[in-house]
C-alpha cells in the first residue's frame, strides 16, 4: 500500500507543477480619438455680373477704380448644420490675386486688360463692406442650422494701363473650417 501511496503522491505533485508551468502574456490597449465639430452642406456659387462699358473706368493708366454698375450681391449658403458653433471661410488663395493684392484676378482667356474683381463682405451695392483679399479668412459665429455669408462682387480697374473691351471671369475655392 505504501507503493500506491507514493505513486499517488507523485502523480498529484506532477499535476500541481503542471498548473504552475502554464505560460501567460498581457497586452496593453490604448484608444485615442477626438470629437470634431459638426459640418454643414454648401453649394457652389455661380453669378453673372452685368456688362459695363470700358469708359466707366478711370482713363489714366496709373489710376484704379471700380464700376458701381457692376455691383452684384451673392452669398455662400450653409444648410443642414449640426454640431457647429461657427466657421472660418478662407477666400481662395494668394495665387488668385492680381497685381493688386486685394483684387481677384481676371482669369478669362483674352480678358479685358487691367481688370479684376473686388469681393466685399455684406450686401447693398458693396458700399459698406470690407474688401476681402484673395487668401483672406472671414470668421463667423453661429449655432443655427443654416447660415449665409453675404458678399458682393464688382469689376475693378488695376493700375498699369487702360481698360479695353474683353471678357472677365474669375474662380476661387472657399475652404470652410467648422468649429
Q: Tell me: the pLDDT tens digits for 55-112?
A: 999 999 999 999 989 999 999 999 999 999 999 999 999 999 999 999 999 999 999 9
Which tens digits make up the pLDDT trace of 20-36?
568 888 887 877 877 77
Domains of the chain by range and CATH?
Answer: 53-178 (2.60.40.1090)
Is residue 124 within 8 A of residue 66, CB to CB? The reply is no
pTM reported for the whole predicted model: 0.79
Instruction: Tell which wins on pLDDT, 105 or 126.
Output: 105
CB-CB neighbours of 109 under 10 Å:
7
pLDDT tens readout for residues 131-141? 999 999 999 99
- H or E element in which residue 9 lies: helix 2-20
At residue 16, the pLDDT reads 52
Report how far apart, in Å, the C-alpha atoms of 134 and of each of 6, 41, 71, 79 are.
94, 23, 18, 25
Dist CA 1 CA 4 (whole Å)? 5
| The pLDDT of residue 97 | 94
Is the pLDDT at 39 greater than 70? The verdict is: yes
| Beta carbons within 10 angstroms of residue 46's beta carbon | 7
Give the separation between CA 165 and CA 163, rounded to whole angstroms: 7
State how far the Cα of 135 lies from the Cα of 101, in Å rounded to an integer. 10
Percent of the chain having pLDDT more than 90? 69
Residue found by looking up cell 481676371 in the block: 106
Query: All 3 cell numbers of residue 14?
Result: 506532477
Alpha carbon distance 49, 151 (integer Å): 13
For residue 8, pLDDT over 80 is answered with no
First to last CA, the chain: 84
Q: How far is CA 20 from the centre of its chain?
A: 62
80: β partners = none
Amino acid at each position: 500500500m505504501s507503493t500506491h501511496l507514493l505513486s499517488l503522491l507523485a502523480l498529484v505533485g506532477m499535476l500541481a507543477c503542471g498548473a504552475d508551468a502554464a505560460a501567460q502574456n498581457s497586452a496593453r490597449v490604448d484608444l485615442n480619438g477626438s470629437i470634431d465639430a459638426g459640418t454643414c452642406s454648401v453649394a457652389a456659387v455661380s453669378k453673372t455680373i452685368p456688362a459695363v462699358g470700358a469708359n466707366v473706368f478711370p482713363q489714366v493708366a496709373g489710376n484704379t477704380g471700380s464700376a458701381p454698375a457692376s455691383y452684384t450681391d451673392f452669398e455662400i449658403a450653409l444648410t443642414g448644420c449640426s454640431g457647429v458653433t461657427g466657421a472660418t471661410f478662407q477666400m481662395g488663395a494668394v495665387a488668385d490675386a492680381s497685381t493688386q493684392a486685394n483684387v481677384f484676378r481676371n482669369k478669362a482667356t483674352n480678358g479685358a486688360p487691367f481688370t479684376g474683381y473686388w469681393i466685399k463682405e455684406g450686401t447693398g451695392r458693396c458700399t459698406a463692406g470690407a474688401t476681402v483679399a484673395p487668401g483672406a479668412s472671414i470668421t463667423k459665429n453661429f449655432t443655427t442650422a443654416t447660415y449665409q455669408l453675404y458678399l458682393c462682387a464688382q469689376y475693378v480697374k488695376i493700375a498699369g494701363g487702360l481698360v479695353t473691351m474683353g471678357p472677365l471671369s474669375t474662380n476661387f475655392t472657399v475652404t470652410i473650417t467648422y468649429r
